[in-house]
Amino acid sequence: MINNNISEVITVNMGPQHPSTHGVLRLVVDIDGETIVNVEPDVGFLHRGTEKLAENRTYHQVIPLTDRLDYLSPLSNNLAYCLAVEKFFDVKIPERAEYLRVILAEMSRVASHLVWIATHALDIGAMTVFLYAFREREDILDMFEVGTGQRMTSSWIRIGGIRADMPEDFFVRLKSFTDKFDSCVDLYENLLTNNRIWKMRTIGIGHLSAEDVQVYGTSGPLMRGSGVDFDLRRDEPYGIYDRFKWEIPVEEAGDTYARYKVRMKELRESNKILQQALEQIPATGEVMTDDPRVALPSHEDVYERMEALIRRFYIVSKGFKAPKGETYQGIEAPKGELGFYLVSEGEERPYRMKIRAPSYVNLGALNKMAAGHMLADLVAIVGTNDVVLGEIDR
Amino acid sequence: MTFEQLTAKLEALFPEKLNCYTEFKCNFIKVKDAAAYKAVLTALRDEASFKYIVDVVAVHWPKKREKFELTINLFSIQNKLRVFVKVAGEDNKFPTITDIWAGANLMEREQYDLMGIVFEGHPNLKRVLLPEFFEGHPLRKDFPLKERSWFNNADEQGLGLKFSR
């Protein structure tokens, strides 16, 4: 006779080579039968010591390190870091550069969300979406290649502006992309939103209440999926986001399905911002500030003027000095609030740089979300967390 | 509520214990008396709606008398205001804030791992990014950058390996 009342907690290992952990995330799961009792994430397999490396590099040299944090949206990371350094100097960014920054950041958000919907759906059994989402992501990466020369780690946003202006082809491609993208989102939603299997796998899974998300510090779509109306683009404006009209999607339910709906709406809202930015962007203009404290002198100047040559040599070889003090800049990255806390001792390199990585903080709520669910739901919960291990391990 | 109003409110609650200032568009609240540190944080959460914890940052100042400094980054969604609560100590021991914000658990573990701050009362204080057998705390300023020994000198897994340069 089988006794069904036996309760025995055993510990199983998930990852770091598990396909649904999106990298090298190891989860130590205590299960009672199939029910999760406790989940403990074991991270650090990809630790590169970015914060320590930054302490021995000049402010310019840190930019390529930030690319490698959240490698699905490298330009958002560049933007957060550059805005933090610019806070030390109060630099005025040229108009065209501001618009290009918004365009690049929103394109990164779309690309990151597309990878999320593709892999999240793949993990819980909806194979088709993967192919369609990666098709559109490919378009964005092609545009990055045309505009910045790199598909992923482009380091294109620099302190004081962006590296160089975009070619005409970039805007032509972006225009046709924004025109068709809404119908692409319709396509993904047709495959998933009313799909019965998708709903069964996501509704009621990984619940977080509005109180929980603030206590655990989980930002971004996790916060908005739980009914907290918070977006740093509106609530602590940076750049020129106050010039665009868009809505912040909020869902009350707080489960995986609500977060899915928030992210799908964010894709549409990002597309709206892209369209408005393309309309408003000035046709010509500088893309790098002429502030001599941070900007490299232009090549024309360097060839003709001795002072510009010295200045350029000085900034490249030794770096520029930031004033003494501490500052922080957070931006609404695709995964949540990405922030850089910089401590300066008046030298050419940061005394301390702390990266507030959204994926890392969101992982802190994993146990809260997963406890009481089935082991198979853990895959959906890790997927809805949208973890990127480059950012968690830093 | 603006930062000035918040400052006035906190000064009334904790007279002579705080130093509030704004630097590079960031609002700082320096807690001069480390004993009042947790009371200030609790007051911020309960009476000024700072419910969203953003980050915990530790900085090492080997040349100062107070060698370790902790900065808690808080945001009030209701008032759209961000503050940084700072506290400094001569040694690396600070009380934990996991009982005020549960999310501080992983943030404090990271600072323990990389900076060696011991959070007293933390439920699960162990290394998170570095392996268990790692020696030292790399974000400290006195951590050697060169000439380090192999980090797994001990041959933890008993593979009979010898490590040499």
Closest residue, chain A, to B60 (C-alpha): A352
Give A131-158 pLDDT, tens digit per residue: 999 999 999 999 999 988 888 888 889 8
Judge whether A36 lies within some domain: no
- pLDDT-above-70 percentage for chain A: 98
* Mean predicted confidence (pLDDT) in A356-366: 89
Q: Is residue A15 part of a domain?
A: no
In a domain, A7, yes or no: no
pLDDT mean by block of 10 residues, chain B; 165 residues = 81 81 86 84 86 90 89 89 89 88 89 90 88 83 74 65 58
The kind and range of the H/E element at B74 are strand B68-76
Q: Kindly list the residues from chain B whose CB atom is less than 8 angstroms away from the CB atom of residue A343.
A: 59
Is residue A168 in some structural domain? yes
Q: Rounded to a whole number, what is the largest CA-CA distance in chain B?
A: 65
Q: What is the CATH number of domain B3-120?
A: 3.30.460.80
Which structural domain, as residue segments, surrounds residue A65? 50-393
Interchain pair A56, B145: CB under 8 A = yes
Chain A 14-43, residues with CB within 8 Å of chain B CB atoms: 43
**Chain B CB within 8 Å of residue A216 CB:** yes
Residue pLDDT, tens place only, A313-338: 888 888 888 899 899 999 998 998 99
Cα B117 from Cα B120, distance rounded (Å)? 9
Q: Which residue stretches of chain A are H helix?
A: 50-54, 63-67, 74-89, 95-123, 128-148, 168-192, 196-202, 210-216, 221-224, 232-235, 256-280, 299-304, 306-317, 358-363, 366-370, 375-385, 389-393
Q: Is residue A79 part of a domain?
A: yes
pLDDT digits (tens, 9 = 90+) for A371-388: 888 888 888 888 888 888
Confidence band, pLDDT 50/70/90 cuts, at residue A3 = low
pLDDT attached to residue B154: 63
On whether residue A32 sits in a domain, the answer given is no
Of the candidates B23, B80, B103, which has its C-beta nearest A365's C-beta?
A: B103
Structural domain count, chain A: 1
CA distance A204 to B58: 38
Residue A11 lies in a domain: no
The mean predicted confidence, pLDDT, of chain A is 88
Give A261-285 pLDDT, tens digit per residue. 999 999 999 999 999 999 998 888 8
Q: Is A318 inside a domain boundary?
A: yes
**What CATH number has the domain bearing residue A123?**
1.10.645.10
pLDDT, residue A2, reads: 57
Kindly indicate the confidence band of residue A5, based on its pLDDT and cuts at 50, 70 and 90.
low
Q: What is the pLDDT of residue B165?
A: 47
pLDDT band for position A102 (cuts 50, 70, 90) = very high
Nearest to A47 among B51, B82, B129 (CB): B129
User: Could you check whether the bond before residue A16 is cis, i.e. omega within 30 degrees of 0?
Assistant: yes
Tell me if A315 sits within 8 A of A298, measured CB to CB. Answer: no
Is the Cβ–Cβ distance between A361 and A217 less than 8 Å? Answer: yes
Query: What's the confidence (pLDDT) of residue B164?
Result: 55
**Tokens representing A180?**
């068709």
Q: HSE (CB half, 13 Å, CA atoms) of A112?
A: 30
A51 has a pLDDT exceeding 60: yes
With an 8 Å Cβ cutoff, the interface of chain B facing chain A consists of 23-26, 28, 51-55, 57, 59-60, 71, 73, 77, 80, 82, 84, 101-107, 110, 114, 127-131, 138-139, 143, 145
